[in-house]
Amino acid sequence: MKLLLAIVNNDDAHYVNTCLTSEGFHVTKISSTGGFLMNGNSTFLIGVEDENVEKAIDVIKNNSQKRQMNMPPIEQGNSARIATGKNVISVGGATIFVLNVEQYIHL
């Protein structure tokens, strides 16, 4: 079994959630914040059998898109952003970690 940890843009989170659950995946959605832009995003925890990992990733991929975002003013967030010197930044899509699950206990 694997645990997918998927960080998804808030604008896509509703579709990702709806499609995952309608495909039969069990999902927990957590409100999260990106450390760089300090915008809200959504983190999904999805426990899946190994043979369904690719299917879950496809559902996320098909329902999330890369977008260009204007950098917010420095004073509204993390000053580490100064170093990039960019006005526009590309934001996922989704960032997905696939973790091995040692034990799954569902009581």
C-beta neighbour count of 62 within 10 angstroms: 11
Report whether 60 contacts 16 (CB < 8 A): yes
From its phi and psi, is residue 8 left (phi > 0), alpha (psi between -120 and 50) or beta? beta
DSSP code, position 73: P
- For residue 66, what are its two tokens? 């890369």
Give min distance, CB of 97 to ligand 2BA, in A.
8
Give min distance, CB of 3 to ligand 2BA, in A.
15
Among 17, 57, 93, 98, binds ligand 2BA (CB under 6 A): 93
Q: Of 18-26, 31-39, 48-56, 57-65, which part binds ligand 2BA (CB under 6 A)? A: 31-39
Query: Which 41-80 positions form the footprint of ligand 2BA (CB under 6 A)?
Result: 41
| Binding residues vs ligand 2BA (CB under 6 A) | 7, 34-37, 39, 41, 84, 89-93, 95
